[in-house]
């Protein structure tokens, strides 16, 4: 039954390695900051469009 134990140990080792590498940031500081700014700009644009839509529905009485 040696092989079964070895399989379990290898599986546990692989899971530990995958969990450790999952959280690492592979971008440099400036790249990370730029990606955060890009994502924030996209979200601001989406919010602006949603606000405009909400305002248009309120002014137009909810026409579709």
pLDDT band (50, 70, 90) for residue 62: low
The full set of domain ranges for the chain reads 31-64
pLDDT tens profile 21-53: 777 777 888 988 999 999 999 999 999 999 999
62: left (phi over 0), alpha (psi -120 to 50) or beta: left
In the 8-state DSSP scheme, what is residue 24?
-
CA 35 – CA 46 distance, rounded (Å)? 17
């Amino acid at each position: 039954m040696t092989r079964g134990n070895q399989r379990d140990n290898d599986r546990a080792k692989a899971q530990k390695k995958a969990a450790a590498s999952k959280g690492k940031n592979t971008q440099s500081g400036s790249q990370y900051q730029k990606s955060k700014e890009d994502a924030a700009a996209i979200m601001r644009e989406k919010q602006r469009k949603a606000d405009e839509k909400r305002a248009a529905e309120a002014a137009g009485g909810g026409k579709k």
